Amino acid sequence: MHIGSIALPNALFVAPMAGVTDRPFRMLCRSLGAGYAVSEMVTSKRELWASLKTSRRADHDGEPAPIAVQIAGVDPAEMADAARYNIDRGAQIIDINMGCPAKKVCNKWAGSALMQDEPLATAIVAAVVAACAPLNVPVTLKMRTGWCETERNAVRLAKMAESAGVAMVTVHGRTREQGYKGQAEYDTVAAVKAALRIPVVANGDIHSPEKAREVLRLTGADALMIGRAAQGRPWIFREILHFLATGEHLPPPATHEVQRWLTEHLHQHYGLYGEHIGVRSARKHIGWAVRALPGGEAFRAQMNLIDDTQAQLRAVQGFFETLADAHPLLPQLGALADSAANDEDDNNKNLTARAA
């Protein structure tokens, strides 16, 4: 699998998720099998680039190549500047966001709202490709199936993008109007795949190895992208890779291994965000990690009251040590996939609050 001339180790990607796929989480997913990780979106608004939030999003310290940065905005010249700015800071691939339905983004006519204005979408793609081509940086595009049920224009936009020089297109199988509700559909993704020569990535509601195989079969896509199902379960990438390669399921990870991954993730997280924000923003990751485990809900409620990082870390260690005594392998309560796929309320709140 290649993006332009850049080779990837495999064709299973972690989806960009604002407020989730920061550098520590991307690195965790990569270490557990994801072949590619795109940063959370970075605004094209120059005045915000120096803000702490945007500079944290543009932090790639120690991240394995290729470094991919997603940009969002509505002005072709600003988007081209944003691409150049991020390339100067290490981006090796630039991804254009035409998929995010968050109000804060759509009110500014960015994200998936751009799918409704094809001339503007075309101008943005052309400007970003023109900025990146001389630097030999591939441009990719992430979109939904369309604006609404009656306006599924993904195939037209994807063909436009390919003609303009885009190197890969990702399609989330929902319209903008759907937000995260209902089920992702894969017919439109399959139609995009059939219409293009460049690689096409299928995304939406892939939460198990079987579903991954099914989406590959239905779409013929070159790669799969996984978002919510990786929250609290980043080893899903190696599970899917193993299943696709062998047709067999990996056993669940050892509980102490999960403890080690989460501990390392928390250290990295605190390092990026510092004490005050770190302890608060780590809660969602810990909550996702424990939500389907025995005693997880009660632990989550207690842990949310802790407001220092060392105490939070000790609480997490204690929870997993007790769990490991009773369950050397991580217990499978069967609710993980469903809770990830149905976490729409949480995710929508998260999106609206964090997208910028």
Q: How far is the CB of 332 from ligand FMN (least distance, A)?
A: 20
Judged by CB under 6 A, which stretch of 17-25, 125-133, 210-218, 301-309 contacts ligand FMN? 17-25
- Residue closer to ligand FMN by CB (options 161, 306) is 161
> What is the DSSP-derived secondary structure letter of residue 16?
P
| Options 29, 100, 106, 132, the catalytic residue | 100
Q: How far apart are CA 132 and CA 284, in angstroms?
A: 35
- Site for ligand FMN (CB under 6 A): which residue of 86, 97, 153, 309? 97
Of residues 35-54, those binding ligand FMN (CB under 6 A): 40-41
Of residues 244-303, those binding ligand FMN (CB under 6 A): none
Per CB under 6 A, 18 contacts ligand FMN: yes
Judged by CB under 6 A, which stretch of 54-62, 83-91, 224-232, 254-262 contacts ligand FMN? 224-232
111 touches 144 (CB < 8 A): no
Q: How far apart are CA 107 and CA 125, in angstroms?
A: 20
Nearest residue to ligand FMN on Cβ basis: 227
List 254's β-bridge partners, or say none.
Answer: 329
Per CB under 6 A, 199 contacts ligand FMN: no
Torsion of the alpha carbons at 30, 165, 201 and 32, rounded to the nearest 10: 0
User: Tokens 């989730």 identify what position?
Assistant: 20
Q: How far is the CB of 321 from ligand FMN (least distance, A)?
A: 30
Distances in whole angstroms, Cα of residue 355 to Cα of each of 88, 116, 170: 23, 19, 19
Q: How far is the CB of 180 from ligand FMN (least distance, A)?
A: 7
Q: How many residues bind ligand FMN (CB under 6 A)?
A: 25
- Tokens (6 digits) for 58: 């543009």
Residues in contact with ligand FMN, shown as a per-residue x/- string from 332 to 351 under the rule CB under 6 A: ---------------x--xx
100 as an active site residue: the answer is yes
Who's near 81: CB < 8 A, 6+ residues apart?
44, 46, 131
SS3 327: coil
Judged by CB under 6 A, which stretch of 14-22, 84-92, 264-272, 293-301 contacts ligand FMN? 14-22
240 touches 212 (CB < 8 A): yes
135 touches 173 (CB < 8 A): no
Per CB under 6 A, 29 contacts ligand FMN: no
- Site for ligand FMN (CB under 6 A): which residue of 23, 60, 152, 172? 172
Q: How far is the CB of 237 from ligand FMN (least distance, A)?
A: 12
Judged by CB under 6 A, which stretch of 146-154, 203-211, 245-253, 290-298 contacts ligand FMN? 203-211
Sheet of strand 168-175, all strands in order from the earlier edge strand to the far edge: 36-37, 12-14, 223-226, 200-203, 168-175, 139-146, 93-98, 68-72, 42-43
Would you please indicate which residues are annotated as catalytic (active-site) residues?
A: 100
Q: Under the rule (CB under 6 A), what is the footprint of ligand FMN?
A: 15-20, 40-41, 70, 97, 99-100, 142, 172, 203-206, 226-229, 347, 350-351
